[in-house]
Amino acid sequence: MSSIQTLSYAQAAVQAMRLEMQQDARVIVLGEDVGRGGIFGQYAGLQAEFGAQRVIDTPISEAAIAGAGVGMALAGMRPVVEMRVVDFALCGMDEIINQAAKNRYMFGGQGRVPVLLRMPIGIWDASAAQHTQSLEAWFAHIPGLVVVCPSSAQDNFSLLRAAIQSGDPVIYMEHKTLWGQTQDVDTALEIPLGQANVLRHGEHLTMVSWSKQVGVCAQAADQLAALGVLVELIDLRTIWPWDRATVLQSCAKTNNLLVVHEAIQAAGFGAEIVATAAEETGCKVKRLGAPRIPVGYSNVLELEARVNAEQIVQAAQQLIQKASA
């Protein structure tokens, strides 16, 4: 039987969940609306297959959901906790930050917290300021947490499985607008956490991104290629731990680094990457993220918060011009 299936980003997640639940009875799901498949279809059919005791609908309390997940993990289960969107996870931050992230350290490794917390991120059309945030830098800042941002159906399949199998708490951030995107997915492919993906090779500029913005960077790279600028495009995939070796090797080759993310630029994770690259390789660096404004509800205001391909092309040209001056 072929291991290649054409799956959407959401279907890839369902398939990954199904395989892990079949292979390990400790894997359970809890969250709001998971019984009916989740608001994005990322749990479709799982409650019918595995029952309400393993796919558990919960009350509307993110603190209770996260706390229950942490407790289950400490008791030996491998819970998958659904937060619906990252914005709602803010109601459960004490359980995530002060309990899940710190337990292994504070108790000398006696307890492990293999909980997976799914927190969809990103600008979601006409969803305004409380449903559109990208907060990966918040969680990358916290010792004890793994942070994952898959950009494709293949990555969502392989990385979700790796995250469930991890022995540590994982913040798993799927982009809200990627759910319907489809591609051929190799269900036999294993991708370890912490390994970046070099999507295209180039000699003039290293471009690093993650999540939905990888696709926008690919569009910009095509435009730059037409102008004679060859981009090495790297999808970071895991924000923490991030693949320093792959990024720094590319920076040493191109001597130019542009990091692009949908999250607000101020104090975004791009700052960590460019600072590390500048310190380690001496390459020229630039970062590009959203302005420090809430995402507006109206289309014209929402567009102000988006980072588009034209902005990326302009930033890349400015960096290369500065480097050659």
Domains of the chain with CATH codes: 4-186 (3.40.50.970), 197-324 (3.40.50.920)
The pLDDT, as a whole number, for residue 1 is: 61
pLDDT (average), residues 88-97: 97
Give the confidence band of 192 by pLDDT, cuts at 50, 70, 90: very high
Predicted confidence (pLDDT) at residue 2 exceeds the cutoff of 80? no
pLDDT (average), residues 85-100: 96
Strand 55-57, strand 116-118: pairing: unpaired
Catalytic residues, by residue number, are 62, 131
The pLDDT, as a whole number, for residue 223 is: 98
Give the confidence band of 80 by pLDDT, cuts at 50, 70, 90: very high
The pLDDT, as a whole number, for residue 111 is: 87
**Phi, psi of 82, deg, nearest 5:** -95, 120
Predicted confidence (pLDDT) at residue 150 exceeds the cutoff of 90? yes
203-228, pLDDT tens digit by residue?
A: 999 999 999 999 999 999 999 999 99
Considering only CA atoms, which of 118, 183, 115, 122 is closest in space to residue 155?
Answer: 183
The pTM assigned to this predicted structure is 0.97
Two structure tokens written together for 273: 């990457």
Considering only CA atoms, which of 199, 204, 294 is closest in space to residue 253?
Answer: 204
Rounded Cα gap, residues 157 and 325, in angstroms: 44
233-251, pLDDT tens digit by residue?
A: 999 999 999 999 999 999 9
User: Cα 135–123–137 angle (5° rounding)?
Assistant: 15
274-322, pLDDT tens digit by residue?
A: 999 999 999 999 999 999 999 999 999 999 999 999 999 999 999 998 8
The pLDDT, as a whole number, for residue 175 is: 98
How much is the mean pLDDT over the chain?
Answer: 97
Other Cβ atoms within 10 Å of 215 Cβ, number: 18
Give the confidence band of 325 by pLDDT, cuts at 50, 70, 90: low
The pLDDT, as a whole number, for residue 322 is: 80
pLDDT (average), residues 33-39: 96
Rounded Cα gap, residues 207 and 72, in angstroms: 40
Predicted confidence (pLDDT) at residue 323 exceeds the cutoff of 80? no
Two structure tokens written together for 140: 């990358």
pLDDT (average), residues 248-261: 98
Give the contacts of 136 (CB within 8 A, at least 6 positions apart): 121, 147, 149, 171, 173, 210, 211, 239, 261, 263, 269
Other Cβ atoms within 10 Å of 60 Cβ, number: 11
